[in-house]
Structure 1
């Protein structure tokens, strides 16, 4: 049996992805479930995060969002039986690569997959659905009647945020990064109240939001990264400046950021203070890095897959690639040339 692994570079060179032979023990742990993997989602590896939490290995397993069928269950497993269809995210310290034919995973990291939901769709969208749920419910405490600004709404994460917010009666504004994205997001109206094109100029964001909110600003802003300085790379020019995000917040507003190295200067903090506004960091791995709220985590996973099955959440379809293209696909994802890839096994 083969799996995909990453050998982290010791210098500034890019990490290497390679296929390695692996095997499973004959004896299955009492709380473990052996799953035959049908599809696996590939997301960029955060090697710095792994180092921060003390996970240091020569070969790091790749592919953690999995969907498959239960083959065997441990003696004390109570949630699943053989032939059950399941979906879940492998923990950070999992020794298994999700791109193996079969994996062993603790039952408390899995939920039942609805029959109408395809394995490819579940594995490809589970991580973004979990992040959207975390940003809106866990961090921002979204409620009906709130106003929400989602940056880069055409991304897989942004689209999940928009759909989940609209389901709960939230007035949504979003930004587009290209004419093609703008045309796609305009199709979501009237669910989306306003699509703001920032590819013409980032300065259009603040006046557009204030015009739509009567000068009050939004209750919640969610970004996918921000600029810390005015002059940055070409790729960062489409990202909002941190001052723009703070400026569009209303009194008592909440900013959810994915920028892991965000730095706020005293004037930024002063602006947040004057608005009694707050901010949170969205760490995609927080649920699997700690088991303190395992029950809530499983409830979120179950709700995400049920909403995808019911059509409330409609992720952008990812074209599944075969296993022999997994190494090339992961290299592309890691270089951020593509945000997501799904491998069909």
Structure 2
């Protein structure tokens, strides 16, 4: 059996992705489940995070978001039985690559997959759903009546945040990074119920004429928003990278926050200057960091994590969460797809196994 692994580069060298032979043990441990993989989502590897938590290997398994069918269960497994369709995320320290025909995974990292939900869809969107759920519920503690600003709502993560927030009665504002995304967001409607726009205001940031602060204050009666969720920020005013120029400046985000507001950031190296901290203090606002790996890196809240995964797949099955469709690539293109994803972190890919092609 073959799997895809990453050979981390030395110093600044780019990591290389290689196909390696791998085997599974003959006997499963107490709570392990052997899953025949139908689809596997590909997301960028955070090699620095792996190093920080002490995971250092010559070959790092690639592909952790998996959907498939249970083929064998360990002697103490109680949640699943053979032929169950399941979905889950392999833990950080897993030695299995999700891009194998079969993987062994502890039953406490899996949930049942609804029958009407395709393996490709759930494998592609599970991580974004988990990030959105963590940002809105765990960090921001959203409630009906709140006002939310989602940066880059046209991204896969941003779209999940918008749909989840609207489901809970939150007023949503968002930014668009291109004319195409702007049109898409303006036309976004729920799949059930009253067909009103999901987004109260789409703010274009792909031209210099946009003024984020003035538009947000206009929409909130000068009060600012309760929650801001970013997908990266600019720490300096001058950025040469075209993609980074579209990101909001950290001061802009703090400025649009209302009193008691909450900023959820995915920027790992955020630096706040004394004036920024002073403004946050005056507003009694707070900042939290979104790390989606925290659920699988620690077993402290395993039950809550499983509840989140179950809720995500149920909402995807009923149409509350409708992720952007990802075109599946065959297994033989997985290496090239992963290289692209690693170089361009905002790109996504999902691999569909030939056994699941119909």
TM-score (norm 2): 0.95
Indicate whether 1:259 and 2:267 are aligned.
yes
CA distance in 2, matches of 1:320, 1:82: 26
Partner of 2:164: 164
CA distance in 2, matches of 1:178, 1:170: 24
1:1-345 mapped onto 2 (5 Å cutoff): 1-188=1-188, 190-201=197-208, 204-232=211-239, 233-336=241-344, 339-345=347-353
CA distance in 2, matches of 1:337, 1:114: 29
Residues 66, 87 of structure 2: 8 Å contact kept = yes
CA distance in 1, matches of 2:88, 2:147: 31
CA displacement at 1:294 relative to structure 2:
0.2
CA displacement at 1:201 relative to structure 2:
2.4
Partner of 2:193: none
Q: What is the total number of aligned residue pairs between the two structures? A: 345
CA displacement at 1:202 relative to structure 2:
7.4
Residues 44, 345 of structure 2: 8 Å contact kept = no
Residues 261, 286 of structure 2: 8 Å contact kept = yes
TM-score (norm 1): 0.99
CA distance in 2, matches of 1:302, 1:315: 16
Residues 203, 210 of structure 2: 8 Å contact kept = no
CA distance in 1, matches of 2:312, 2:48: 28
CA distance in 1, matches of 2:326, 2:309: 20
CA displacement at 1:138 relative to structure 2:
0.3
Residues 37, 69 of structure 2: 8 Å contact kept = yes
Q: Deviations over 1:199-234 (max 9, x none)?
A: 012751111101111110000000000000001122
Tell me, which stretches of 5 or more residues in structure 2 are unaligned? 189-195, 354-358
CA distance in 1, matches of 2:107, 2:139: 26
SS at match of 1:33: strand
Return closer, same or farther for 1:203/1:272 CA change in 2, 3 Å cut-off. Answer: farther
Partner of 2:192: none
CA displacement at 1:11 relative to structure 2:
2.2
Tell me, which stretches of 5 or more residues in structure 1 are unaligned? none
SS at match of 1:271: helix
Give runs of ≥4 in structure 1 deviating > 3 Å: none
RMSD of aligned Cα (Å) = 0.9
